[in-house]
A = this chain, B = another copy of it.
Amino acid sequence: MADAPVPAAFAAHDHRQCAGTVLARAEALCATRGLRLTPVRRRTLEILLEAHRALGAYEVLERLKADGFGGAPPVAYRALEFLAALGLVHRIRRLNAFAACMHPGEAHQALFLICRSCNALAELPGAALRSALDAAAAATGFSVERASLEAVGLCPACRAAAA
């Protein structure tokens, strides 16, 4: 239940490898739950992993269409919804966009940092924050089911550039 060690965040890393790992993880997750990682779903996840940033549903859709999949919005939204339900993809409400989860595992709370200058997106483990949130909510009798933790600001690179 503890947070993962440390996220790649804004540091450079090997996209190829993280994508491969996540895809393998997705396969396994579907297999154990008797769900199907169909071509559209798999391709949708790949698209998000390749982009390595948040994409709007219509951007995903464009790429799916280019790959010969159905070109109407519900196609993309359904795949994204499926992946989000499994925690393989996160929805970033502030951006009306979706991003592949960088460290998918059983239920975890994500915390997003969005750079307003370069649009970089980092996903941090937010379990600790979530616990605090749950506690605050519980004090009013409210039970939390899902939470969005999203912050806008400047990433290290843009801060340096602005200085």
The contact of A148 among B7, B140, B145, B150, by CB within 8 Å, is B150
Counting CB contacts under 8 A, is A152 at the interface? Answer: yes
- Encode A132-163 as 1/0 by CB contact (under 8 A) with B: 11001100111111111111111110010000
Cα A111 to Cα B142 in complex, Å, equals: 13
Q: What are the residues of chain B within 8 A of A147 when measuring CB–CB? A: 149-152
How far is the CB of A134 from the nearest CB of chain B, in Å? 8
The contact of A133 among B116, B122, B129, B137, by CB within 8 Å, is B129
Contact A113 B140 (CB under 8 A): yes
Contact A145 B116 (CB under 8 A): yes
- Encode A1-43 as 1/0 by CB contact (under 8 A) with B: 0000001011000000000000000000000000000000000
Contact B132 A128 (CB under 8 A): yes
Q: A94-B93, A94-B148 are in contact. Are A111 and B136 (CB under 8 A)?
A: yes
Q: What are the residues of chain B within 8 A of A142 when measuring CB–CB? A: 9-10, 113, 115, 122, 151, 153-156
Contact A146 B140 (CB under 8 A): no
| Given contact pairs A142-B154, A147-B150, a sample of 14 additional A-B residue pairs in the complex whose CB atoms are under 8 Å apart | A111-B136, A113-B137, A128-B132, A129-B133, A132-B132, A133-B151, A137-B153, A141-B159, A142-B155, A142-B156, A143-B153, A145-B151, A146-B153, A148-B148
